[in-house]
């Protein structure tokens, strides 16, 4: 019973979490050392002489010398010893702090130290209060009276015993010599001040929530536990490690890299809002600010992760990828992130959607991953879970990191951003300006409103580009539409607002048709196709005809429709949502009115390069199950025209093909 694990024994039974007490005790013993300890001297206080008293300044000086710390820290340390009841103040007995002056303190007798093997008992407290009550001078304080009454009520059954004890102790005390008696009274009082503190004061004895596990309890381990430990240790032994010099070197390097960006270590331009009450710094560093600061752009060069974690940086990178025609990589990565961290309810649909958009053969935004990863992913997708795309995602992440990121840093996109980036002047406020700033602190837009706005924006985008793909990046990016197939299908709006359509309020709505095609699944289209062929919905044309190019697209589409490969109902569902987008893009269009019809062929060539190895009949849509697979292929072969759907709206192929 008495033998316990030495390491775990904090000398505590009732306060197992206060490991500090043992250490404090050691210090107190050192302080009491006759040779090296704090100077003790009898002190006269009013009419009584108090033996072995110490002064506050001596305590502070001794601690400062012992630990080689400054006076303030020594004071704080001393105050903790007082708060724990190792030292007690003689004059101002309720304020448990060390004053660095001549005020007097005494060491508490070890009997009253908090390091006890037994709990502080209410009975003892009741006896103490009763004793004080008996003493003529001992007028109880208000909170003590309350305590006394409460205890009297609670321990009524043994109150006689308590009063008897108190009387006995009082008589015994009277028989002692006066200095002894005074000292003992002080000690006892100090003890109760620590353990039953007056309300409203800080109690060092308060250690918060009781934790479940008692550190003193002997751990009983079962064979199973040992087995688990051994298996785990075995695994840990096998774990690959990095040489300390390498890994530590990386940590040190990280510090050095970011040192200039740490507001605690270097200047924060133009000024730290907490210091000057000027929010320019925050305004300049808004998540989606049009022109970032130099410091921010510099951070993007530190690592690929840094670039991706900054929404502004990610937009910039997206723009670059768009120009490189590899935007689908980022969109895929974002889709995967969304799947991984998204809500459980839509997880399955999301996985399917990602598969259809990025992974299936002939997918609209097909990504290039190696066969092995693809195999694993496709196999996993039979029973989708949130981490099913991890392998593919890592592959794409590494691809972007190793390949695109390097090129991005050398690209004109990045250089342009770097050139435009601002380097704010340091604020030089005078004292009166600072005061004024402090008075004029303004609340910022509530995050709730910002969130609502973001969501509205997303909803608007989702409406103007009715694609599931946009939703893939809904939670990871505030600029969802950019992730859409816009690189190929909507050059005009991209040209008009190259930096940030989100801020410029120019919804870069991709051509609705492409989008619709992208999003319609095989089964859906089958259903729609069976609805029969009509001349195209008037509504759709009305909205699409809002501008020249759009109507041209619509025309080419009608041709397509006549051939019966695309059902009209699709446009019906599209058109109402497209109104706003068409309206805005018509304003942009005139800049490059002819581009849509001329630029695409080149681009498409580029686009098709990626997918050359796909058999033509597979360019149709992802297939949910294997039996459907065959069916779909059959259908696609039937309607030969469908394979032109891939890019008919902007390429010349349809004309050539049909003509």
Partner 1 sequence: MACQGLQKGETLESLKRESETLKKKLEEERNKLNDVELHQVAEKVEVLSALSIKTRRVLKGHGNKVLCMDWCKDKRRMVSSSQDGKVIVWDAFTLNKEHGVPLPCTWVLACAYAPLSGLDNKCSVIPLSLDKNENLAAKKKSVAMHTNYVSGCSFTNSDMQLLTSSGDGTCALWDVESGQLLQSFHGHTADVLSLDLAPSETGNTFVSGGCDMKANVWDMRSGQNIQSFESHESDINCVKYYPSGDAFASASDDATCRFYDLRADREVAVYQKDSIIFGASTCDFSLSGRLLFAGYNDYTINVWDVLKGTRATILFGHENRVSRVRVSPDGTALGSASWDSTLRVSWSFSTGSNYIFRFIKLLFWVNSRLVLEFTVAF
Contact set for partner 1, span 33-72 (CB under 8 A): 63, 67, 69, 72
Kindly provide the residue ranges of all beta strands, DSSP E only, lying in 388-508, ordered along the sequence: none
Using CB under 8 A as the binding rule, whether residue 227 contacts partner 1 is answered as yes
Q: Pick from 430, 530, 609, 656 the residue near partner 1 by CB under 8 A.
A: 430
215 binds partner 1 (CB under 8 A): yes
Residue that is written with structure tokens 């008897």 in the block: 164
* Cβ(325)–Cβ(488) below 8 Å: yes
In the block, which residue shows the tokens 């037994």? 118
Residues in the chain: 659
How crowded is residue 525: how many other Cβ atoms within 10 Å of its Cβ? 25
| Interacting residues with partner 1 between 271 and 330 (CB under 8 A) | 271-275, 277, 279, 281-282, 285, 305, 308-309
Q: Which is nearer to partner 1, 190 or 307 (CB)?
A: 307
Note if the bond before 621 is cis, omega within 30 degrees.
Answer: no
Is there binding between residue 142 and partner 1 (CB under 8 A)? Answer: yes
Residue 316 tokens, joined: 């910039």
Identified binder of partner 1 from the candidate list 137, 243, 410, 602, rule CB under 8 A: 243
When asked if residue 23 is in the footprint of partner 1 (CB under 8 A), the reply is yes
**The only residue of 212, 383, 625, 656 in contact with partner 1, by rule CB under 8 A:** 212
Residues 314, 308 contacting (CB under 8 angstroms): yes
Window contacting partner 1 (CB under 8 A); options: 12-20, 49-57, 323-331, 402-410: 12-20
Beta-carbon contacts of 125 under 8 Å, excluding residues fewer than 6 positions away, are 147, 151, 192, 195, 196
Using rule CB under 8 A, residue 177 touches partner 1: no
Here the tokens at position 442 are 């303004």
Q: Taking the complex as a whole, how short is the minimal distance between the CB of residue 135 and partner 1, in angstroms? A: 24
Q: Does 237 bind partner 1 (CB under 8 A)?
A: yes
> At its nearest, how many Å lie between partner 1 and the CB of residue 335?
13
Instruction: Give residues 448-467 in contact with partner 1 (rule: CB under 8 A).
Output: 448-450
Task: Output the smallest distance, CB 566 to partner 1, in A.
Answer: 36
Residue placing its CB nearer to partner 1 in the complex, 154 or 207: 207
Among 391, 404, 386, 407, residue whose Cα is nearest residue 337:
386
Q: By CB under 8 A, is residue 635 in contact with partner 1?
A: no
Residue with Cβ nearer partner 1 (223 or 615): 223
Number of residues that bind partner 1 (CB under 8 A): 113
Member of 251, 419, 530, 625 binding partner 1 (CB under 8 A): 251
Binding to partner 1 by residue 1, rule CB under 8 A? no
From candidates 110, 119, 179, 249, binder to partner 1 by CB under 8 A = 249
Is residue 651 within 8 A of residue 598, CB to CB? The reply is no
Nearer to partner 1, 235 or 609 (CB): 235
Should residue 259 be labelled a site residue for partner 1 when binding is judged by CB under 8 A? yes
By the 10 Å C-beta count (0-12 exposed, 13-18 middle, 19+ buried), 187 is classed as middle
How many other β-carbons are positioned within 10 Å of the β-carbon of residue 73?
A: 13
Paired residues of 45 in beta bridges: 48
Q: Which of residues 351-390 bind partner 1 (CB under 8 A)?
A: 386-387, 390
Return the residue of 258, 498, 599, 611 that touches partner 1, per CB under 8 A: 258
Of 431 and 627, the one with the shorter C-beta distance to partner 1 is 431
CA distance 349 to 351: 5
Nearest to 367 by CA among 507, 469, 480: 469
402's tokens = 């190793």
Distance of alpha carbon 503 from alpha carbon 506, whole angstroms: 8
Q: Is 220 in the site for partner 1 (CB under 8 A)?
A: yes
């Amino acid at each position: 019973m008495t033998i316990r694990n030495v390491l775990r024994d904090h000398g505590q039974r009732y306060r197992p979490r206060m490991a500090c007490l043992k250490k404090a005790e050691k210090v107190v013993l050192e302080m009491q050392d006759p040779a090296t300890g704090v100077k003790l001297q009898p002190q006269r206080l009013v009419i009584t002489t108090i033996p072995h008293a110490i002064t506050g300044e001596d305590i502070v000086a001794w601690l400062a010398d012992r630990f080689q710390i400054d006076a303030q820290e020594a004071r704080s340390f001393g105050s903790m010893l007082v708060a724990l009841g190792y030292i007690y103040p003689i004059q101002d007995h309720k304020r448990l702090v060390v004053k660095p002056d001549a005020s007097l303190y005494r060491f508490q007798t070890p009997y009253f130290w908090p390091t006890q093997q037994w709990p502080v008992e209410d009975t003892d407290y009741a006896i103490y209060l009763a004793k004080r009550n008996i003493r003529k001078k001992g007028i109880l304080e208000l909170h003590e009276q309350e305590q006394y009454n409460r205890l009297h009520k609670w321990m009524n059954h043994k109150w006689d015993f308590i009063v008897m004890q108190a009387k006995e102790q009082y008589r015994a005390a009277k028989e002692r010599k006066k200095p002894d008696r005074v000292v003992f009274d002080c000690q006892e009082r100090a003890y109760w001040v620590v353990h039953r503190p007056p309300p409203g004061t800080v109690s060092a004895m308060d250690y918060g929530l009781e934790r479940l596990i008692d550190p003193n309890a002997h751990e009983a381990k079962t064979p199973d536990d040992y087995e688990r430990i051994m298996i785990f240790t075995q695994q840990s032994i096998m774990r690959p490690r990095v040489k300390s010099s390498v890994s530590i070197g990386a940590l040190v390097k990280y510090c050095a890299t970011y040192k200039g960006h740490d507001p605690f270590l270097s200047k924060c331009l133009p000024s730290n809002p907490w210091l000057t009450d000027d929010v320019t710094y925050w305004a300049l560093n808004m998540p989606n600010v049009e022109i970032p600061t130099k410091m921010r752009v510099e951070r993007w060069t530190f690592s690929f992760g840094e670039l991706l974690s900054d929404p502004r940086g990610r937009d910039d990178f997206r723009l670059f990828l768009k120009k490189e025609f590899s935007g689908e990589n980022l969109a895929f990565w974002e889709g995967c992130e969304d799947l991984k961290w998204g809500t459980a309810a839509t997880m399955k649909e999301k996985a399917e959607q990602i598969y259809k958009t990025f992974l299936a053969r002939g997918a609209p935004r097909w990504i290039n991953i190696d066969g092995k990863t693809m195999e694993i992913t496709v196999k996993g997708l039979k029973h989708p879970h949130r981490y099913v795309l991890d392998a593919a995602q890592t592959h794409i992440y590494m691809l972007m990191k190793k390949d695109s990121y390097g090129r991005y840093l050398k690209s004109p996109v990045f250089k342009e951003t770097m050139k435009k980036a601002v380097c704010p002047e340091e604020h030089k406020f005078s004292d009166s300006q600072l005061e004024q700033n402090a008075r004029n602190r303004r609340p910022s837009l509530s995050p709730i409103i910002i969130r609502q706005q973001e969501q509205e924006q997303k909803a608007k985008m989702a409406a103007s580009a009715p694609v599931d793909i946009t939703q893939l990046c809904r939670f990871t990016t505030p600029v969802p539409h950019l992730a859409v197939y816009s690189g190929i299908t909507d050059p005009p709006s991209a040209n008009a607002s190259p930096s940030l359509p989100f801020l410029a309020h120019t919804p870069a709505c991709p051509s609705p048709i492409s989008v619709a095609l992208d999003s319609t699944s095989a089964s859906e289209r089958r259903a729609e196709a069976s609805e029969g062929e009509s001349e195209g919905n008037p509504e759709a044309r009305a909205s699409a005809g809002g501008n020249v190019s759009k109507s041209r697209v619509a025309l080419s589409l009608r041709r397509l429709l006549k051939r019966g490969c695309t059902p009209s109902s699709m446009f019906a569902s599209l058109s109402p949502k497209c109104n706003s987008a068409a309206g805005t893009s018509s304003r942009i269009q005139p800049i490059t009115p002819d581009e849509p019809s001329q630029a695409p062929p080149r681009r498409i060539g580029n686009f098709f390069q990626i997918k050359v190895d796909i058999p033509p009949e597979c360019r149709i849509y992802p297939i949910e199950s294997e039996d459907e697979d065959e069916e779909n292929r059959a259908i696609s072969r039937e309607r030969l025209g469908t394979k032109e759907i891939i890019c008919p709206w902007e390429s010349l192929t349809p004309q050539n093909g049909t003509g």
